[in-house]
A and B are shown apart, each in its own frame.
Chain A
Amino acid sequence: MREYIGHIGHLSVIISFVAAVFATVAYFLAAQNEEKDLESSKSWKNFARIAFGIHAFSVFLIVFSLFNIIYNHYYEFHYAWNHSSNHLPVYYMISCFWEGQEGSFLLWIFWHVMLGAILMFTNPKWENRIMTIFLGVQIFLTSMILGVVLGDFKLGSSPFILMKEVMYNAPIFQSNPNFIPEDGTGLNPLLQNYWMVIHPPTLFLGFAFTLIPFAYAIAGFWKKDFTNWVKPALPWTIVGAMVLGVGILMGGYWAYETLNFGGYWNWDPVENAVFVPWLVMIGAIHIMILGKKTSTVIKWSFILTVTTFLLILYSTFLTRSGVLGEASVHSFTDLGLSGQLLVYLLAFVILTIVLAFVRWKNVPGEESTGSMYSKDFWIFIGIAVLGIASFQVIVGTSIPVFNKITAALGFSGKMAPPANQILYYSKFQVWTGALIALCGSIAQYIWWNKFNKENKDQIISKFFMLFVPILIISGVAIFFINKDYDMFTQMTKSMIGAEEDAVKYGLISKLLAYTLLMTSCIFSLVIAVIVLKSVLKQGIKLSGGAITHIGVALMLLGILFSSGYDKVVSINYSGLIYNKEFPAAMNVENVLLWRRESVKMEEYTLKYEEPCYEVLGFSSYIPKSKLLVLFDNHKAIAKTNILHKGQTFYKQGDTLDIVPENTYYKVRYIHNVSKDTFYLYPRAQVNPQMGFLASPDISRNLSRDLYTHVSSVPDPNQPIEWNDTTRIKIGINDTVFFNDYVGIFRGVKQVENVDGIPMKKTDIAIQAYFTIFGKDNEQFVMNPTLLIRNNQGLSGPVFLDDIGMKISFVNIDTEQNKFIFETSSTQLDYIILKAVSKPMINLLWIGTLVLVIGFSLSSVRRYQEFKQNR
Chain B
Amino acid sequence: MDLDLEKQIERTIYRAALALDTQQWNDWFALCDEKFEYAITSFSPEINKDMIYFSGDKKELKGLMDMLPKHNTDHSPLHRHTSVYTIDVAKNGETATAVSSVIVYQNMLDGQNSHLDSGESRLFVIGHYHDKFIIKDGMAKFAHREAKLDNRRLDKGSHWPI
Partners in one complex: no
